[in-house]
Chains A and B, each alone.
Chain A
Amino acid sequence: MEIKTYPTSIDFYPQKSIYTQEVLFKCLYWYGGDYEVEVIDHDASCYCIRFQNLPSDTDQPTLISNLKRDLHDYKLRDIVQQETQNIRDLLVAKAFAFEDPDEIIPDTEISDPVGFDPLSVSL
């Protein structure tokens, strides 16, 4: 990722092929409390993330390192989200689905050594 530093600003140029808008905004959300951040659609291949009006005592190397690490983490979170969304939906749907216990029919054969067919028993 190309990075340009200036006395009171830093520009990061993450590639669109690697980082989606969702990843960028979820990551940059956490920087909004401390920094003035702008996301610019730079060109066909890159966004520009601009940290501007940085105070003179800003530790720029640490900020750069933290942002690179956080972008990486949010990219990983995005992979989990993309791959598991269906399972999560299924999990929540199953958890809150209404099931009448009387309607549950065992999907395996049940045998009983005493000799009666449990499925023939009406409740």
Chain B
Amino acid sequence: MIKIAETPVKKSRKFLGAAYFRSENTGYHLLPFRFMRLSEEKEILVNDLGEYLICPKGTAAQVIRKEVDPITQETLYADLLSGFFISETPIPPLLEVMATRYRTKKSFLDHFTSLHIFVITLRCEHTCHYCQVSRVSEDKNAFDMSRQHIDKGIALMMQSPNPHLTMEFQGGEALLAFDNIVYAVEQTKQQALLHEKRITYVICTNLAPVTETMLAYRKDNDILISTSLDGPEYVHNPNRHKKGKDSYQLALKGIQQCRETLGNDQVSALLTTSNLSLSYPLEIVDEYFQQGFSSIFLRPISPFGFAVRNEKKNKYDTGRFLEFYKTALDRIIQYNLDGHFYREDYATIILKKILTPFPVGYVDLQSPAGIINNVIVFNYDGKVYASDEARMLAEMKDDTFLLGHLDEHGYNEIFYGQKALSFTAASIYESLPGCSECAFQPYCGADPVFNHATQGDIYGYRPTSAFCQKNMEIIRHLFLLMESDKRIEKIFHSWVNS
């Protein structure tokens, strides 16, 4: 009998339907995530990797009760799977990828302290009512950092494991001690060669005392300039008192000189928001734009130290600042919608955390907190503080965050000593009450110095914390803006990617 061979079934090369790839077991397992309400209609799910999902109210409950149907709610189910909110197996198959992404989010810890602030002098020719340091007159050399302390500060800085260091000169008015800056830069250049470090130099200055010689030296050594501009003349001058009431004119003249000599991108300006400033959000945004800045940092005044001595001028509640911030941000967005690139820096820091897998080296928005891990301050008198705000407190006779003295303590005692360790527990938002359950955790930070200064407790109390109120509302606002208008989301992406 002849057997006729069966015609082989030809395998189809067409893509198979989604049902073919779906696991037979339709049950799913939860992965760690947090959720909260964004508005009356929307809620947000966020996981430790910073992935987020905005969905209708009630979705989180449905996910947690395992009622999401992979067939009828295919898109939601796929979003939950791809965003690592759920897994079809008890141990997610991409756990290694998740771990790598988590490690990337915390990679700011890899190299330890980068920013080393040298308070090169406490002298200043301004008498700003909000200044974070107590002002002393120009002619008291007792308030300059000694060369001996500069050398010791540089020696400690060179012991940092970080190959990329930032050396920032602050005051008072740093340029009043320009000879000390030159000395410090020259010493550091030699030491950096020996220790194979790359150094970024920054001078924080109001630019009033700037000269051609200073600018030439700055140019030769690639030193960045960070200056202050509080808005139009009628806001800047009352904020930044100076004999002759010419602070605004001197700042603009200095900015112009810097740009001509060094290039437009070598000078940035910082805004400090006083009570007076809160009445002029649009005017301040316009002023920065008109002066040729492509970004502005809308930051509230630090509500402690010298600033709150003058409560009438500098103390305001967070609600008022948030109103100011939102109005100003709307104006900035409008500039972008009109075709200009104009960025708000605080929003950009948060948006980088939301829209990219990478961390941001911003001291106030990290966990563990940026104090010591990212920044250290060598004060003019040789004392070493955990952050700039910590020395602000010290000027009010509060040495809680004093870590040691350049004359008495070595690297290990300062950076790894008992005092440094005691701040660590309060520096990790994953374990702080209120923060541990907060959906915005990956976009926020822990700030024990702020907590201590405003609430008398380094752990802080979130229900009445101005830090928490400010960040929660700004983060929520940014999400709602992106949800409300895709053009705004596109603008935010351009800020992050610039």
Contacts and interface: CB of A to CB of B under 8 A. Distances in A.
B462 A91 contact: no
Given A29-B433, A91-B98, A79 B103 contact: no
B362 interface: no
Contacts of B100: 95
Nearest to A77: B437
Contacts of A2: none
Given A87-B91, A91-B95, A77 B48 contact: no
B32 A80 contact: yes
Interface in B95-111: 95-96, 98-100, 102-103, 106
Given A76-B61, A80-B32, A84-B31, 14 more contacts: A29-B463, A30-B462, A31-B463, A34-B463, A72-B61, A77-B437, A80-B34, A87-B95, A88-B32, A88-B48, A91-B99, A91-B102, A95-B99, A95-B106
Contacts of A79: 30, 64
A32 interface: yes
Interface of A: 26, 29-34, 72-74, 76-77, 79-80, 83-85, 87-88, 90-92, 94-96
A77 B34 contact: yes
Contacts of A90: 91, 95
B461 interface: yes
B464 interface: yes
25 contacts: A26-B437, A29-B433, A29-B463, A30-B462, A34-B463, A74-B437, A76-B61, A79-B30, A80-B32, A84-B32, A87-B31, A87-B95, A88-B32, A88-B48, A90-B91, A90-B95, A91-B32, A91-B99, A91-B102, A94-B95, A94-B96, A95-B99, A95-B100, A95-B106, A96-B106
Nearest to A26: B437
A53 to B, nearest CB: 17
B193 to A, nearest CB: 30
Contacts of A85: 32
B434 interface: yes
Contacts of A72: 61
Interface in B16-38: 29-35
Nearest to A69: B37
Interface string B32-58: 111100000000000010000000000
Nearest to A31: B463
Contacts of B32: 80, 84-85, 87-88, 91
A32 B48 CA distance: 27
Interface string B294-329: 000000000000000000000000000000000000
Contacts, number: 66
Given A76-B60, A77-B34, A80-B64, A30 B434 contact: yes
Nearest to A25: B433
A76 B437 CA distance: 11
Contacts of B95: 87, 90-91, 94
A74 B436 CA distance: 12
Nearest to B43: A73
A91 B34 contact: no
A30 B64 contact: no
Nearest to B437: A77
B48 A91 contact: yes
A87 B64 CA distance: 16
Task: Tell me the interface secondary structure of chain A in the complex.
Answer: helix
B83 interface: no
Interface in B453-498: 461-464
Interface residues of B, number: 28
Interface of B: 29-35, 48, 60-61, 64, 91-92, 95-96, 98-100, 102-103, 106, 433-434, 437, 461-464
Given A29-B433, A29-B434, A92 B102 contact: yes
Given A74-B437, A90-B95, A95-B106, A30 B463 contact: yes
A98 to B, nearest CB: 12
Nearest to B430: A92
Contacts of B35: 73, 76-77
A73 to B, nearest CB: 8
B434 A33 contact: no
Contacts of B434: 29-30
B92 A87 contact: yes
B30 A84 contact: yes
Contacts of A34: 463
Nearest to B33: A80
B105 to A, nearest CB: 9
B40 to A, nearest CB: 12
Given A76-B64, A87-B92, A33 B464 contact: yes
A31 B433 CA distance: 13
A33 B461 contact: yes
Between A31, A73, A91, A94, the greatest number of chain B beta carbons within 10 A of the residue's beta carbon is seen for A91
Contacts of A96: 103, 106
A84 B437 CA distance: 13
- List the 5 closest A-B pairs by CB distance, nearest first: A33-B463, A94-B99, A84-B32, A95-B103, A95-B102
A41 B61 CA distance: 28
A58 to B, nearest CB: 17
A4 B32 CA distance: 36
Nearest to B100: A95
Contacts of A26: 433, 437
B30 A29 contact: no
B368 to A, nearest CB: 13
Contacts of A92: 102
B463 A32 contact: yes
